C-alpha cells in the first residue's frame, strides 16, 4: 500500500491532471450533454407550478368576513382594498367563497349558475369590475356533487365543464372544498388530482387552492387518507396550496379562538419540507380583530399580529378573512407592514421551522434570500409578558449579528451569541438577523448548484465533486487551493467511489437523463461511458470494487431501477409501489445490498433481499448510506432542515438521532459521505451560501 505522503502526492497529481484530460469531455461529450442554466438540487419531486404563485398568494376571502357573499358587498370590500393600500401591499385577490350559487345550482344543460338575487349583474361583470380595480378574482366549489345539504357549489361529475366555465368567466383562482367530498366518501388525493388536471386544460391559467378541512375532531366517518394532515403528501404535486388543518374559526366570531390559531399553526408546522416556490402549506385565513356578539374582539390586536407574523414566518398564503373595513387603522397598517409581508414573500419560500421551545415559548427561524439572513420569531404562548432569548447558533448564524425589529421597522444594533427581548402575552418579537452562515467543517469554497460527492483519499485528505453554478462538474482536493472545472454538464448530485488501488469512479446523470461513468486511474481520466437508462434524478452505486458495483436511480415511473457493470436496467420497484422522491442511495456490507429512498410521505424506506421496510422519519432530502466496519450509517436532512442519523448494527436498525453539529438549514439537499478511519464518517455538504464544506462525524 502506498505511504500516506505518496498517496497525497498521487491525489495532487490526480487533480492537476483533471483540467487537461477533461478536454476529452468538452468535445463530442459536451455536444451530447448540452448546456443547462441551473437545476434544483436533487431530493425532491417535480412540484406543481401554475406560474401564478411564485410567492405565497395574498388577498381577501368572503367566508369569515361576509358570510353569504353578494355583488354589492364584494365590490365595497374591493374598493376598500384599493383605497386602504392593502391591494398595493400585495393583497390582490378578492375570493368569493361558498354561497354564490343559485338555489338550483345548475341549469338544464348542467352549467353552474350564480344566484341572480345576490349577483344581479352576473359573475362575469363582477369579475370585470375586480379586474378594473387591479384585483384578481377567486371562486369556490367542492370536490363532491352538490347535495343541497353539505355544500351549495359542488363540481362532482362536472370537473371539465366547471373549470372551463370559471375560465370563461375570467376567474384567476379556484378554491376546491371537500365538504360534499367527505359526505360522499371520496378520496381527496384522487379527486383533487382529477380537478387539477381539469384546471390545467380549462383554457386559462388559474391558481388552485385545495381545502380539505376534515380532521379526527369532526366526528364524521373517514379514513386516514381522507384527513387534512396528509394533504402535504400529494398537494405539492397538483396545486398551488393546500389546507393543513380544519377551519381556524366559525362564521360567528367568539372569544377563545387563540387556542385554535395555535392549533392550526402547530399542525401547519408538521411538514415544512412540502413548502417552496409555487407550492404552499395553508393553515387557513387570517382573522384579525373580528368583533364578537358581546362587542369584544375574537383576537385582540397583539394576537392578530402574532397570527400574521407566524403565517409570514411559515411562508403561508396571506388571505384576510375578516371584513377589512371594520379593522382599526393600526391593524390595517400592520397588515401592510412591508417588512412583515416581505418575509412571507421572500422568493426562496422556505417555511420557517421551530428551533427551540421552553416554558410556553417557541423560537422559529426562517432562511431568507442572501447569505447570512434569517427571520426569527419569538412566540410567547403564555398569558403574561416573558423575557425570551434567541441563540444565534440555533438560527444557523455565527459571528457578529445585526438585529432589526420588523414589527417596529427599526434597527436594534449588533450582538454576538444571542439577543434577548421581552415578548407580550400571546405576542411575538419578529427579528431580521444578518450574520455569517454557520456550517460545521472546513469551508472549501465553490459555488455549487447540487449536493456533493466525497471520496476519501487517505486519513487526512478527500476529493469532493460537485455540480457548479453553470451546471458543469468540478472537483477539489482538500488542502489544495481552488476548484478545478471538469467541463460538460450534469444534472443533480454526482456519485464517486475509490477503489483499493486509488482508482476513482464517478457516476452522473447527463442532460439526456442517461447515466454516465468516468474513471480516474494512474493520474489519467478515461472517456465517459454511457450506461443508458432514463433517470429522473441522480444515480448512486453499491460499490464493492471497480469490477463489482450496482448502480441505482429513479426511473421515469418513479420507481428504483438498477444495473450492474455487465447487465442492463431492471426495476426494484418502490415502497407500496408509489413513486419515490429524489435519488436512492445504495451500499453493500458484504452480506448484501441496501437501498434507501425518500418515500412519497417523506419517510425513509430501505430495501434488502427481504424486500422494503420503513425506517420512519420525516425527511426533506434524499438519504445517504455509508458502510463501515460492519455497520451502515444513514444520514438524511429532516423536515426541519437539521441532519439526522440512524445506524444498522448487529443485524438491525436502531433509532433516529439528531446530529447537533448541524443547525437548521446548514445542509442544502443531501450529504456526500464516505467511510473514515475507526468507524468515522467523512461528510461533504452544500451550505446555504452554496459553498461546499467537509467535516468528520
Helix ranges restricted to H, 22-70: 30-33, 62-66
For residue 363, give the H/E element and its range.
Answer: strand 361-367
Q: Environment class of residue 641 by beta-carbon count within 10 Å: exposed (0-12), middle (13-18) or buried (19+)?
A: buried
397-405 vs 410-416, strand pairing mode? antiparallel
DSSP-derived secondary structure for 300-324:
-HHHHHHHHHHHHHTT--EEE-S-G
Q: Which residues, 6 or more positions from 370, have their beta carbon under 8 angstroms from its beta carbon? A: none
Candidates 177, 245, 284, 346; catalytic one: 177
- ∠ CA 508-513-516, nearest 5°, is 35
58-61 vs 318-320, strand pairing mode? parallel
For residue 131, give the H/E element and its range.
Answer: helix 123-132
Q: Which residues, 6 or more positions from 493, have their beta carbon under 8 angstroms from its beta carbon? A: 41, 42, 450, 451, 452, 453, 467, 538, 583, 622, 669, 670, 672
Could you tell me which of 402, 387, 342, 396 has the C-alpha nearest to residue 364?
396
177 is annotated as an active-site residue: yes
C-alpha cell at 417: 451569541
Q: Are 450 and 668 in contact (CB under 8 A)?
A: no
597 beta partners: 605
Name the packing angle between helices 188-200 and 159-168 (round to 10°).
40
611-616 vs 604-608, strand pairing mode? antiparallel
Q: Which residues, 6 or more positions from 142, have their beta carbon under 8 angstroms from its beta carbon? A: 150, 151, 153, 154, 155, 156, 176, 177, 178, 179, 180, 181
Q: Are 535 and 513 in contact (CB under 8 A)?
A: yes
Helix ranges restricted to H, 590-687: none
473-477 vs 462-467, strand pairing mode? antiparallel
R_g (Cα) of the chain, nearest Å: 27
Which DSSP state fits 440? -
C-alpha cell at 116: 341572480
| CA distances, 436 to each of 343, 372, 443 (Å) | 19, 5, 12
User: How far is Cα 327 from Cα 306, in angstroms, rounded to an integer?
Assistant: 16
Q: Are 227 and 212 in contact (CB under 8 A)?
A: yes
| CA distances, 238 to each of 163, 415, 594, 644 (Å) | 15, 44, 32, 29
Reading across the β-sheet that carries 570-573, which strands appear in turn? 540-545, 548-554, 560-564, 570-573
Q: Are 179 and 142 in contact (CB under 8 A)?
A: yes
Candidates 247, 512, 557, 589; catalytic one: 247
97 is annotated as an active-site residue: no
432 beta partners: 375, 404
User: How far is Cα 44 from Cα 479, in angstroms, rounded to an integer?
Assistant: 32
CA 397 from centroid of its chain's CA atoms: 21
Residues recognised as catalytic:
177, 247
Amino acid at each position: 500500500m502506498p505511504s500516506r505522503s505518496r498517496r497525497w502526492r498521487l491525489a495532487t497529481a490526480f487533480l492537476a491532471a483533471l483540467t487537461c484530460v477533461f478536454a476529452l469531455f468538452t468535445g463530442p461529450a459536451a455536444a451530447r450533454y448540452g448546456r443547462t442554466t441551473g437545476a434544483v438540487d436533487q431530493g425532491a419531486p417535480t412540484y406543481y407550478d401554475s406560474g401564478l404563485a411564485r410567492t405565497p398568494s395574498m388577498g381577501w376571502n368572503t367566508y369569515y368576513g361576509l358570510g353569504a357573499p353578494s355583488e354589492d358587498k364584494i365590490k365595497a370590500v374591493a374598493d376598500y382594498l384599493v383605497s386602504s393600500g392593502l391591494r398595493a401591499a400585495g393583497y390582490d385577490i378578492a375570493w368569493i367563497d361558498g354561497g354564490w350559487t343559485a338555489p338550483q345550482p345548475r341549469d338544464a344543460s348542467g352549467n353552474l349558475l350564480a344566484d341572480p338575487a345576490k349577483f344581479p349583474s352576473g359573475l362575469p361583470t363582477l369579475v370585470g369590475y375586480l379586474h378594473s380595480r387591479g384585483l384578481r378574482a377567486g371562486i369556490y366549489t367542492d370536490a363532491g356533487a352538490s347535495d343541497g345539504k353539505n355544500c351549495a357549489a359542488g363540481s362532482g361529475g362536472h370537473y371539465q365543464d366547471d373549470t372551463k366555465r370559471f375560465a370563461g368567466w375570467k376567474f384567476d383562482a379556484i378554491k376546491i372544498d371537500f365538504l360534499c367530498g367527505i359526505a360522499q366518501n371520496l378520496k381527496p388525493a384522487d379527486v383533487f388530482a382529477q380537478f387539477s388536471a381539469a384546471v390545467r386544460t380549462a383554457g386559462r391559467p388559474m391558481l388552485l387552492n385545495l381545502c380539505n378541512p376534515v380532521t379526527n375532531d369532526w366526528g364524521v366517518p373517514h379514513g386516514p387518507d381522507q384527513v387534512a394532515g396528509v394533504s402535504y403528501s400529494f398537494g405539492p404535486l397538483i396545486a398551488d396550496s393546500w389546507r393543513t388543518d380544519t377551519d381556524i374559526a366559525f362564521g360567528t366570531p367568539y372569544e377563545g379562538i387563540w387556542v385554535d390559531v395555535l392549533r392550526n399553526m402547530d399542525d401547519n408546522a408538521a411538514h415544512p419540507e412540502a413548502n417552496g416556490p409555487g407550492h404552499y402549506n395553508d393553515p387557513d385565513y387570517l382573522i384579525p380583530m373580528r368583533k364578537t356578539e358581546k362587542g369584544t374582539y375574537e383576537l385582540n390586536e397583539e394576537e392578530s399580529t402574532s397570527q400574521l407574523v407566524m403565517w409570514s414566518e411559515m411562508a403561508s398564503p396571506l388571505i384576510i378573512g375578516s371584513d377589512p373595513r371594520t379593522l382599526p387603522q393600526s391593524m390595517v397598517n400592520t397588515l401592510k407592514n412591508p417588512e412583515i409581508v416581505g418575509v412571507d414573500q421572500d422568493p426562496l419560500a422556505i417555511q420557517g421551522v421551530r428551533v427551540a421551545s421552553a416554558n410556553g415559548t417557541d423560537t422559529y427561524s426562517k432562511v431568507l434570500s442572501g447569505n447570512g439572513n434569517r427571520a426569527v420569531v419569538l412566540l410567547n404562548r403564555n398569558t403574561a409578558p416573558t423575557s425570551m432569548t434567541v441563540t444565534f447558533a440555533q438560527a444557523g448564524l455565527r459571528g457578529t449579528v445585526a438585529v432589526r425589529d420588523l414589527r417596529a421597522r427599526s434597527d436594534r444594533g449588533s450582538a454576538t451569541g444571542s439577543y434577548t427581548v421581552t415578548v407580550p402575552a400571546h405576542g411575538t418579537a419578529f427579528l431580521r438577523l444578518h450574520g455569517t452562515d454557520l456550517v460545521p467543517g472546513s469551508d472549501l469554497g465553490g459555488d455549487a448548484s447540487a449536493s456533493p460527492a466525497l471520496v476519501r483519499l487517505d486519513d487526512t485528505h478527500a476529493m469532493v465533486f460537485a455540480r457548479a453554478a453553470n451546471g458543469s462538474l468540478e472537483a477539489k482536493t482538500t488542502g489544495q487551493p481552488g476548484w478545478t472545472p471538469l467541463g460538460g454538464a450534469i444534472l443533480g448530485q454526482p456519485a464517486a467511489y475509490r477503489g483499493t488501488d486509488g482508482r476513482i469512479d464517478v457516476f452522473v446523470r447527463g442532460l439526456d437523463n442517461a447515466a454516465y461513468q468516468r474513471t480516474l486511474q494512474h493520474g489519467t481520466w478515461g472517456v465517459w461511458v454511457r450506461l443508458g437508462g432514463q433517470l429522473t434524478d441522480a444515480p448512486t452505486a453499491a460499490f464493492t470494487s471497480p469490477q463489482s458495483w450496482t448502480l441505482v436511480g429513479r426511473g421515469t415511473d418513479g420507481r428504483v431501477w438498477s444495473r450492474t457493470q455487465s447487465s442492463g436496467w431492471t426495476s426494484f420497484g418502490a415502497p407500496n409501489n408509489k413513486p419515490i422522491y429524489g435519488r436512492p442511495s445504495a451500499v453493500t456490507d458484504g452480506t448484501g445490498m441496501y437501498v434507501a429512498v425518500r418515500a412519497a410521505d417523506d419517510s425513509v424506506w430501505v430495501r434488502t433481499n427481504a424486500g422494503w421496510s420503513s425506517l420512519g422519519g420525516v425527511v426533506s432530502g434524499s438519504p445517504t448510506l455509508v458502510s463501515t466496519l460492519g455497520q451502515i450509517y444513514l444520514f438524511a436532512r429532516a423536515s426541519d432542515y437539521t441532519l439526522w442519523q440512524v445506524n444498522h448494527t448487529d443485524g438491525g436498525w436502531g433509532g433516529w438521532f439528531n446530529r447537533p453539529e448541524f443547525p437548521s438549514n446548514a445542509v442544502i439537499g443531501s450529504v456526500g459521505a464516505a467511510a473514515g478511519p475507526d468507524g468515522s464518517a467523512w461528510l461533504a455538504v452544500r451550505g446555504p451560501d452554496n459553498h461546499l464544506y467537509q467535516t468528520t462525524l
